[in-house]
Amino acid sequence: MLSAYKPIHGEESLPSRPACEVADIFREYGRSYRMNNKMPLSHMKVMSDIINCRTEFKGGHIEKCDSCGYERNAYNSCRNRHCPKCQTMAKARWLDARMHELLPARYYHEVFTLPHEMNPVILCNKEAIFTILFKAVSETLLLFGWNTRNGLGGKVGFIAILHTWNQVLLDHFHLHCVIPAGALSPDESRWISSRRWRILFNVKALSIVFRAKFIEYLEQAFDKGDLHFPGNTTSYGTQAGFRHLIRKLWSKRWVVYSKRPFAGPEQVLDYLGRYTHRVAISNHRIIALKDGVVTFFYRDRRDNDTKKIMSLDAQEFIRRFLLHVIPEGFMRIRYYGFLANRSKKHNLNLIRRLLGVREELSDTRKESVRDLMLRLTDIDITRCPHCKNGTMRTIAEIPSLQKRHLYIIHNQHMVMNST
C-alpha cells in the first residue's frame, strides 16, 4: 500500500544553502530588535535556537570517510519546531507513519478560519484561544458526523492542523482538517461511506455551528478569568467591552471553506507533507537581505496563486515571524474521532476489515535517520560526498559551546552564592 510514495519528494532538488536564511536575518538584526522591543522568553529562545542551529554552538561530531579519508564537521540541529532547517526529518517520520494509516476512501479538506477581529485577543491568549478553536472545530465535525441527515450517522475521524499565518506572514488563524469520507457505525458493525462527492458537509451549516460553539467557549473562558487583555486589547477586558466584541463576532459571517476532495491517498500525503511541519516562511522563499530589507516571494491567493515579490524592513520581518511562535508544549496537530490516538490502531484495523482490506496497522518501526532516508529517498546520507564510495564514520565529538557556556554561568553563580 503506497510503498513507492516518497514523503519528502522534491526537497532533494532544493539548493543545499539558500542565498539567505531566517538565521542570517536574526543574526544581523536580532540584537537591535531585542533592544527596541519587549520580548517573552519563548521568542528569545526561538531566535537563539535558529541562529545557533547547525553551528559549533550546538556541538556535533567529526566524520571521516573510511575509504578516502575525507573529513567534515557535522553540527547538531536545534530541533526547535519554528526553525526552517529542522522540519525535514520530523516531517518524514510523521508522514511515514501516516502513510500506513490511510484508508481506501476519498478524503475531504475543510478549513475553519477565525475572524480577523479576534487577532489582537488571540495574540495575547494563544494557548487559551487555540484550545477553544480545536474544541469548537472538533465538536462541530463530530456532531455533523453523528447526524444521519448529513448522510453518515456514525463516528468520523480527522486530523486537525493549526496554521497561524498567511503568505506574507501576517496573523491568519485557521485549522486545516483532513477527513476520510465515511464513518464508523455506532455499533461498529459497518463502515458508512459518504454518498456525497463534492462536499462532505454543508459549509454554511458548519460555519453557523462552529461560530456558536466557539463563542460559547470564549464566553466561558472570559467568565473564568482565563483571558488577558493587555495593551491595545484593554477595552475588551471590561464586561461592556467584551460584550461589544461578542456582538461583532455574532454579526460576522464565519468562513468554513471546503476544498475539492483529494484525488487519492497519494494526494493526501502530498498535501499533508506541505502543510503539517511548515513554519511561517521557509528559507527557500527568501530571495535577499540587503541594506536592512528582506525580499521574499509569496503566492497571492486572491490572484490565482500568482507568484509575487514582497520587501519588508528586517525589523518588520522579524516581528511578523515571531507572531507565529506557538506556546511551548502546545500540540498543533491533533487527531479526533476514530483517529484519536487512544483507539486509532483498533479502529483502523476494524475499518480495514469492514472494507475488505487484509493489511492491518502494525506498530511504527523505530528506524535510524540513515535507514529512514535510504528507504524513503534511496539516498544514503552516510555516503562520502568526496569519493562517492566510502562511508562517513564518526571519529570524534565536538563539544557544545552551549553546554560550556551554561557550565561557566553555573560556576559563576556558585561562586557568587558562596561569597
Identify the pLDDT of residue 9: 35
Q: Cell numbers 481506501 label which residue? A: 104
Question: Domain 101-280+323-354 belongs to what architecture?
Answer: 3-Layer(aba) Sandwich (3.40)
DSSP bridge partners of 257: 111
Q: In this structure, how many other beta carbons lie within 10 angstroms of the beta carbon of residue 3?
A: 7
Identify the pLDDT of residue 374: 75
**Over the range 135-147, which residues count as b (16 or more CB within 10 Å of their CB) and which as e?**
ebbbbbbbebbbe
Alpha-carbon distance 161 to 139, whole Å? 15
Q: With 0-12 CB in 10 A as exposed, 13-18 as middle and 19+ as buried, what is 306?
A: exposed
At residue 253, φ and ψ (nearest 5 deg) are -90, 110
Q: Cell numbers 475499518 label which residue? A: 351
Alpha-carbon distance 175 to 44, whole Å? 26
Q: Which helix (H) or strand (E) holds 289?
A: strand 286-290
Residue pLDDT, tens place only, 355-384: 988 776 666 567 777 787 777 677 888 999
Identify the pLDDT of residue 11: 38
Identify the pLDDT of residue 86: 86
What is the DSSP code string of 210-272?
A: HHHHHHHHHHHHHHHT-----GGGGGGGSHHHHHHHHHHHHHS--EEEEEPPPSSHHHHHHHH
- The CA-atom distances, in angstroms, between 296 and each of 27, 96, 151, 252, 290 are 18, 31, 45, 33, 12
Identify the pLDDT of residue 139: 98
Q: pTM to 2 decimals?
A: 0.87
Query: Within the chain, which residues score under 50 in pLDDT?
Result: 1-15, 409-410, 412-413, 415-416, 419
* Spans of all domains in the chain: 11-82+384-418, 101-280+323-354
Identify the pLDDT of residue 406: 52
State the helix-helix crossing angle for 126-146 and 203-224, rounded to 10 degrees.
Answer: 140
Q: Cell numbers 501516516 label which residue? A: 98
Instruction: Write the DSSP symbol of residue 366.
Output: -
Q: What is the largest CA-CA distance in the chain?
A: 77
